[in-house]
Amino acid sequence: MLDYNTKRHRVKVGSTHLFIRCKKLNRNGRMKTELRAAITQLSAERNLPKEVVLAALESALVSAYKRETSALEQDVVVKIDPNVGEISFYVQKTVVESVANPDREISLEDARALRTGAQVGDVASIECTPRNIGRIAVQAAKQVVLQRLREAEHRIIYEELTDREGKVVSGIVQFIEPKRVYVRLNRTEAMLPLNEQVPREHYYRGQRLKFYLLDVAQGGKEPQIIVSRSHPNLIRRLFELEIPEVHNGIVELKAIAREAGHRTKVAVTATQENVDPVGCCLGPRGIRLQSIIKELNGEKMDVIQWHGDPGVFISNALSPAQVASINISEETNTATVIVPDKQLSLAIGKEGQNARLAAKLTGWRIDIKSISAIEAERVAIQGPEVSAEAISPAVIESQPLEPALAEDIEAEEPIEFPPIPEAPPEKPEEKQIRFAEDMLLAALTAGTTDKAKSGVKKRRGGKVTKRRKEEDHIEDRIVDDEM
């Protein structure tokens, strides 16, 4: 035991001063009070249980004793009683008949001298409390205490975060690097890699955000913690935090499709009757959903009704676009969606985003077509009807001339145009035989041309044709009167 008048060694661990002196409770009880206060303060500062602090202190004193006595091979045990303020050192040795290693073995006779009834194979504890501990050993004890406390702290943090893996944690941005962002999570530090960041988000020091705890791995010195801001499960955890029905299981999130920073689609359903899942997620005037969108820095979000029928589910997933009809092929897992022409761009979305998210949400391959495109494909497959332009001359011959067209040809006088000089033929043309069909076609063509020219003349010269008909009618009356 140390003498009472021996100078105490004061060691600073953090902001706590430890007075290391192997002395039992003195007259004033100062050792008891100082030791208990130091352990309590260390436990509060490091947020560690008192048992952990005591174990670290005992391990540090063991290292100091071995360093001081040069007994590295001995099995030394230190016991601290903070209630009494007592620190005791013991060397544990195995009881044997013939001693081969004095540092770890003790003879049966010596063991029975310490404790009556000792047998071979028992472990004997021999008290070896030193009278004094040097300053170098005290400094070594300090380093060991700090190391043991850090290891204990990292171990406890690792166990806590392992239980919270896959949940939402809140953190503050510490500093930013080109390919990663370091975030402070309560008592430890996490890393936000570049591939887990949201492209449209800009981070700055001191910014408080919610993160998805992606992975916790035990590293060399401290746990390696990876967090994410772009993981789809971040949406699920935020819904559980903001919406009580989702947290209680009344509303279930069936599927989530997300393009981080741009748009997210969430399919929800109710596990109880008479519950509107979409209305529960929106909240009064959309306040619940707006709080989630605010946490995601304005990312657009669509909440749709899940349905067991794939056709109805796909139609809901393509909202806000309206769907005319859906054809589903289960063999190829493909759905052909027909939408009105005005809804085509809305169904596809900007750069195909709406259709892409709907395909991720439903798990079906979606092919979107407009009604006009479907009709064009149908006409191409079935063949177009015979149009008036495709009618052959033989068909024209069998059709009678319309009465109205015949009256126009007989009533109107043909307009004479000055003859156009023609170049003399190089060879005498042979006399061609004109058949009745050619004559009929020529008469029809001439009548149509005269009618068109007379119409042009009507537009240009006013009511010329009408005046001419009236003059012809007056002349016919005069001839009838003379006769």
Confidence of residue 65 (pLDDT cuts 50, 70, 90): confident
At 135 the pLDDT is 67
How much is the pTM?
Answer: 0.61
Task: At 479, list the tokens.
Answer: 């001839």
Rounded average pLDDT over 189-198: 93
The Cα–Cα gap between 338 and 318 comes to 11
pLDDT tens by residue, 258-302: 999 999 999 999 999 889 999 999 989 899 999 999 999 999 999
Residue 191: exposed, middle, or buried by beta-carbon count in 10 A (0-12, 13-18, 19+)?
A: middle
CATH topology of domain 9-155: N Utilization Substance Protein A; Chain:P; domain 4 (3.30.1480)
Percent residues over pLDDT 90 in the chain:
34
Multiple choice CATH, 164-228, 3.40.50.920, 1.10.10.10, 3.30.70.380, 2.40.50.140:
2.40.50.140
When mean pLDDT is compared across 63-72, 184-193, 360-369, 416-425, the lowest value belongs to: 416-425
Task: State the pLDDT confidence band at 387, using cuts at 50, 70 and 90.
Answer: very low
- Domain positions in the chain are 9-155, 164-228, 251-378, 391-410+436-483
CATH no. for 251-378: 3.30.300.20
Average pLDDT along the chain: 76
The residues facing 263 across adjacent strands are 259, 300
Residue with tokens 């041309």: 449
Instruction: Examine the pLDDT at 242 and tell me if it is beyond 80.
Output: yes
